Chains A and B, each alone.
Chain A
């Protein structure tokens, strides 16, 4: 009985250890900067500055500009 319990505890601990190791490996892999991350981030940054991306802000302003230029709009 005692021997069975000991084996169960050992296996449980082993399983926990394996799980923790796997989680650590996955976590570290996730955090590691990939070779393409820099390229992707730079692309996103540049795309966000493109005239197409800015068009919304500029056209909204051009649309509302009309009558109350220079006056408080609140």
Chain B
């Protein structure tokens, strides 16, 4: 008998929840493929370590960008491998709930469900990430209270207001923490004349990245390739420089939160002032982001206790109560 699954197929990380067991897999959404034979060589952490360090015949890629499938074939193979790793075989075909960005198009929606069914699922249902995040973040969404959740992922940032188990207001943009990494790469290239890889940019963001001035800021030494000489070079990068580099991306995220707030019915506005909004997703871990949003919206911002797992736990809860919560799936009759 197949155990039903919930999959948070994120741009950055993929998490799998198995009914009755909890989270059984958590790894980067990366796949390494042999260009010549089309064989899959590695997935997850192993494939991530290969990014930017592969010989010509190997390609290590993230098959999702901005929360959408960019390579259907590779995504299908990755989902198939994921299902196999959690014990799904030809004879055990589970029902699968997949978390997707709310801004997903009809074509992208079909691509995800088709890829999942072909990979071995008996049924594939989609759930909006902010809704799953609100369930997983333990917000009281069963009450007639405005619950605001900001989910900042690798490729998307979504803000939703949820009350009585339904979405009241929603704002989604295809900007996420990978765009912050890209902004750091661009800044270092333009201002210091050195090229750095996406993993180095991510490390800079984690180590010294801030969205608002913070106490005890420090700098970091960055290694890259000099664009003029082509030789390895070290530079010193300050936290202020990084904040300047990522400011435009951070501003876009904050503006989307503000737009969502402006869509909310006036009755709910007082709920946010009392209860605040909740940050989930890896992008929410950027230092100073909560303070920046709080400063620009005058609404308290709180960090979810499990920011990285909230989405898959929410979808997992829907898997545990599949029949009762069917109406929460995208395209279901409400």
Contact = CB atoms under 8 A, between A and B. Distances in A.
Interface of A: 44-51, 53-54, 56-58, 60-62, 64, 70-74
Interface size class on chain B is 20 to 34
A48 B309 contact: no
B24 interface: yes
A31 B24 CA distance: 41
Contact of B23 (A47, A56, A64): A64
27 contacts: A45-B324, A46-B164, A46-B165, A47-B142, A48-B325, A49-B135, A49-B141, A49-B142, A49-B165, A50-B142, A53-B321, A54-B138, A54-B317, A56-B320, A58-B138, A58-B313, A61-B22, A61-B313, A70-B26, A71-B26, A71-B27, A71-B45, A72-B85, A73-B23, A73-B25, A73-B26, A74-B86
A71 to B, nearest CB: 7
B26 A57 contact: no
Given A45-B165, A72-B26, A72-B85, 16 more contacts: A46-B142, A46-B164, A47-B142, A48-B324, A48-B325, A49-B141, A51-B140, A57-B313, A58-B138, A58-B306, A62-B306, A64-B22, A64-B23, A70-B308, A72-B25, A73-B23
A64 B85 CA distance: 19
B316 interface: yes
B44 interface: yes
Contacts of B141: 49
A57 B22 contact: yes
Contact of B325 (A49, A58, A72): A49
Contact of B22 (A47, A53, A60): A60
B327 interface: yes
Which of A44, A45, A46, A56 is most buried by chain B, counting CB atoms within 10 A of its CB? A45
A72 B27 contact: yes
A48 B321 contact: yes
A61 B309 contact: yes
B164 A74 contact: no
A57 B325 CA distance: 15
Given A45-B327, A56-B320, A51 B138 contact: yes
A21 B199 CA distance: 72
A74 B309 CA distance: 17
Interface in B11-26: 22-26
B4 to A, nearest CB: 13
Contacts of A73: 23-26
Nearest to B6: A57
Nearest to A56: B320
A47 B25 CA distance: 29
B44 A72 contact: yes
B6 to A, nearest CB: 10
Nearest to B325: A48
A64 B20 CA distance: 13
A51 B141 CA distance: 9
A18 B277 CA distance: 62
A61 B313 CA distance: 8
A60 B22 CA distance: 7
A49 B316 CA distance: 12
